[in-house]
Amino acid sequence: MSMLAYDGTALLGRQLRRMRNNPGLLILTQTMPISMLLFFGYVFGSALAMPGGQYRSFLVPGLLVATAANGIMTGMFQAAQDTHRGVMDRFRTLPISRAAVPLGQAVADVVVTAAGTVPFLLVGFAVGWRVEGSVLEAVGAVGLLLLFRFATTWVGIFLGLLTRNEEAAGQLGGATFMLPLLSNAYIPTDGLPGWLRTVAEWNPISAVTTALRDLFGNASVPGDAAWPVAHPIAGSLMWCAVLIAVFLPLAVRRYAHGER
């Protein structure tokens, strides 16, 4: 375990250093949600029944979670890039803990997400979003958000190790952009036709978004929704536990065995 901690820390440092040296993807993933907040908040917000200020408060938690779901994209892209460029094979020939490389990547991803949350929330504050509940609940909301990011990045790492191709991962990763569209991140789900509403409410993004809105005090929990949305905190923890329990072992196994 101390071996894993030591190797994992060295590899966490590697991920942070490479983002510093090559900040393109980082800048894109950090500025995207801010521009989406401004675009959706003022353009779509003007067409919705909700008053603009209220929609932007509704949107801030939604965009936070939608951005966290991009962990699938960045996790996949980085893992595929490392495999494709051969550095993963060098790691595999080193006498290091088998979980250290994917774990270093996942933790680095969460660290960067945490840092990116700060400027996003500042812009959110500027356009009218507020913490309307207790500070403790707000801290809980951020914790839940980062847990969700940790879960989605493992999905991405596994898929990236599976595709092994930088370009394919980039294209496939783009598809994760679609996931929040079928959730309550940008719109309330109660206006959707019955079956579509069921699908959207069983989307993990919906449960986590609802939990964040609840903890920040931005919107109340819809009582008539599907179970994970009606019980958003338990539902979010359930989704995170399921994703981590499935994809963390799969990713570590895939890394350790390579194409063996």
Point out which residues bind another protein (CB under 8 A).
7, 10-11, 13-14, 17-18, 21-22, 82, 85-87, 89-96, 257-260
Name which of 21 and 46 has its Cβ closer to another protein. Answer: 21
Name which of 86 and 223 has its Cβ closer to another protein. Answer: 86
Name which of 59 and 252 has its Cβ closer to another protein. Answer: 252
Give the span between the Cα atoms of 218 and 130, in whole angstroms: 8
Instruction: List b or e across 144-168, with b for residues whose CB sees 16 or more CB atoms inside 10 angstroms.
Output: bbbbbbbbbbbbbbbbbbbbbebee
At closest approach, how far in Å is the CB of 190 from another protein? 46
At closest approach, how far in Å is the CB of 9 from another protein? 9
Give the span between the Cα atoms of 143 and 56, in whole angstroms: 22
Smallest CA-to-CA distance from 168 within 234, 84, 63 is with 84
Name which of 96 and 243 has its Cβ closer to another protein. Answer: 96
At closest approach, how far in Å is the CB of 18 from another protein? 4
CB-CB contact of 240 with 248 (8 Å):
no
At closest approach, how far in Å is the CB of 85 from another protein? 6
